[in-house]
Structure 1
Amino acid sequence: MNHIVTVQDAVTAFAPWMEPTDAELDAIESEMPAILADVDLLDAQIVTLDRTPTELDERRIRRARRRVLAARRDLVNRTADASLPGGAA
C-alpha cells in the first residue's frame, strides 16, 4: 500500500537561505529590458491568436520583434564589454 504524504521540501521551498543573491538580482536587472521586450512581443502575438491580424497588428508585431532584437543586441554588447578585460574585443 502506498501512503500519500506531503514532501517537506516542497512545502518549505521558500526558506530564507534560498533567496536570490545580489549577483543574481543584478543579472535579472540587467536583463530586464530584454525581458520586457519579449513580453511586449508576446502581448502583440496573443492579440492575434483568435482573429486574422490586421495591418496595425502586423506593424505592432514587427515593431515588437525589432525591440526584442535591439534589446538582446544591447544586452550581449554590455555583457561582452563587461567580461573582456581592458575593453579589448
Structure 2
Amino acid sequence: MKPIVARQTAVTAAVPDAGPTAAELDAIDREMPLILAEVELLDAQITTLDRVPNELDTRRIRRARNRVLAARRELTNRTAGTVGGAA
C-alpha cells in the first residue's frame, strides 16, 4: 500500500501560533462586561433546565437579560462614539 501525500507545496504558509495581538486583546477587554453578562444569563438559564422555574429563577433570568441588554447598549454606544457614526 502506498501512502497518499501531496506532491505540491502548500499554497498558504503556515502561521505559527503567536497568540492574540494587542488589538485583539483590547477588543476582548472592551467586550468583557458583555461577555460576563451573557455568561451570567446562561448560568441562570442552565439552572432551570431540569425543573420548572420558580419566582426567584424568573427574576434571576429577567435581571440577567436586563444586564445583557445594558452591556450591549453600553458597548454599542462606546463603539459608535469611537467610530464617529450611529450604529
Shorter-normalised TM range: 0.7 to 0.9
Could you tell me how far 1:14 is from its partner in structure 2?
A: 9.2
Could you tell me how far 1:15 is from its partner in structure 2?
A: 3.7
d(CA) in 2 for partners of 1:38 and 1:59? 16
Q: How many residues align?
A: 77
For structure 2, which runs of at least 5 residues remain unmatched after alignment? 4-13
1:62 aligns with 2:62: yes
Residue in structure 2 matched with residue 29 of structure 1 by the alignment: 29
CA RMSD of aligned residues (A): 2.5
TM-score (norm 1): 0.77
- Between the two proteins, what is the percent identity of the paired residues? 67
Residue in structure 2 matched with residue 80 of structure 1 by the alignment: 80
1:52 aligns with 2:52: yes
d(CA) in 2 for partners of 1:46 and 1:38? 12
* Residues 18-58 of structure 1: CA deviation (Å, up to 9, x unaligned): 31110000000000000000000000000000000000000
Higher share in helix: 1
Residue in structure 2 matched with residue 9 of structure 1 by the alignment: none
d(CA) in 2 for partners of 1:15 and 1:40? 34
d(CA) in 2 for partners of 1:63 and 1:2? 62
